[in-house]
């Protein structure tokens, strides 16, 4: 056991730890093996040397975030504390912007695996991002596509997903084709609206620079000079996935997103995503990135819900 005094003079601890020390309590819960005592602007920490060293490192990151953004939410504390080892979020990583969106929005890769997506697309023509909801797969992929278009690395963006779970049967929905499709493509529209001004986005869609279409519309095409994203890929069949992947043309980038645990296909059908992850992992030029609860940047409960379901599945 070791005892160490950590003097904090760069923040007001009352502001930093919040009313009734609720943020300190959250930090203490994460470092349950340590005893932490506050005395003025000093923290007395008692525990194993390695645990104290990690605590100091995390505390430094929390203070940097607090000073930079004039605040620190419980979700941000959870995200910073949950990153392991050399994946600690530091100031250099936080400053990396994928693309500048509307109204000064800076679209950033905020987690380790989101940053892996950014670096992977520079050295691979096809990447698979597999993981649960809320990990930023779609948003990061769209940001990379918009960046490539703005930098004139590609001539167009093609965004697609299975229109309806278990087979793209649109007939029972009211309205024309566009009205039928819009609910299923809404997450892609929403991401684009954050990154491209409305008038320009409308122009791009009208002229085909940006195409948003159901997966069935990809059949028989060759996609050259395009950045192509397949979303909700777990709901493709093996045949649909093979059809999509073989649309790849010259100077094209493909990102395939999906959650292998949320397959909505009939039980007798194999997911095209799961099949591809098993058979394509060793091909040069294809990289697979596995997202997990550490990448969740939604409400803290989303991360806890994912962990609870994962624990239940492991027990089966």
pTM, 2 dp: 0.67
Q: What is the pLDDT of residues 54-67, one digit of tens each?
A: 899 889 888 887 88
Residue 251 confidence (pLDDT):
94
Residue 101 confidence (pLDDT):
87
Q: How confident is the model at residue 99 (pLDDT cuts 50, 70, 90)?
A: very high
Residue 88 confidence (pLDDT):
43
Strands 42-47 and 253-258: unpaired
Q: What is the CA radius of gyration of the chain?
A: 22
- Arithmetic mean of pLDDT, 233-261: 95
> Which one has a higher pLDDT value, 124 or 177?
124
What structural domains and CATH numbers belong to the chain?
A: 2-87 (3.30.1370.10), 97-299+306-315 (3.40.50.300)
Residue 278 confidence (pLDDT):
94
Residue 165 has pLDDT above 60, yes or no: no
Q: Enter the tokens of residue 270.
A: 């194999």
Residue 164 confidence (pLDDT):
53
């Amino acid at each position: 056991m070791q005892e160490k005094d950590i003097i904090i003079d760069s923040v007001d601890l009352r502001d930093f730890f919040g009313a009734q020390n609720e943020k300190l309590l959250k930090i203490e819960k994460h470092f349950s093996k340590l005893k932490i005592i506050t005395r003025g602007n000093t923290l007395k920490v008692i525990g194993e040397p390695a645990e104290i060293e990690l605590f100091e490192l995390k505390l430094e990151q929390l203070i940097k975030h607090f000073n930079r953004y004039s605040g620190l939410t419980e979700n941000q504390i959870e995200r910073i504390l949950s990153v392991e080892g050399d994946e600690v979020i530091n100031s250099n990583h936080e400053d990396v912007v994928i693309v500048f969106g509307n109204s000064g929005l800076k679209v950033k890769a905020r987690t380790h695996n989101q940053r892996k997506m950014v670096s992977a697309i520079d050295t691979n023509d096809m990447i698979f991002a597999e993981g649960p909801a809320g990990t930023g797969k779609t948003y990061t992929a769209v940001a990379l596509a918009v960046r490539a278009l703005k930098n004139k690395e590609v001539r167009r963006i093609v965004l697609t997903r299975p229109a309806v779970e278990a087979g793209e049967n649109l007939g029972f929905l009211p309205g024309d084709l566009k009205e039928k499709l819009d609910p299923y493509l809404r997450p892609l529209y929403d991401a684009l609206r954050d990154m491209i001004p409305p008038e320009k986005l409308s122009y791009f869609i009208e002229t085909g620079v940006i195409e948003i279409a159901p997966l069935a519309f990809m059949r028989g095409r060759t996609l050259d000079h395009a950045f192509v994203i397949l979303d909700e890929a777990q709901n493709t069949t093996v045949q649909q996935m093979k059809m999509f992947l073989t649309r790849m043309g010259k100077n094209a980038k493909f990102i395939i997103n999906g959650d292998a645990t949320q397959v909505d296909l009939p039980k007798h059908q194999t997911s095209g995503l799961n099949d591809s992850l098993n058979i394509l992992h060793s091909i040069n030029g294809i990289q697979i990135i596995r997202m997990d609860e550490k990448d969740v940047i939604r409400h803290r409960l989303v991360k806890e819900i994912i962990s609870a379901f994962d624990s239940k599945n492991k027990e089966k």
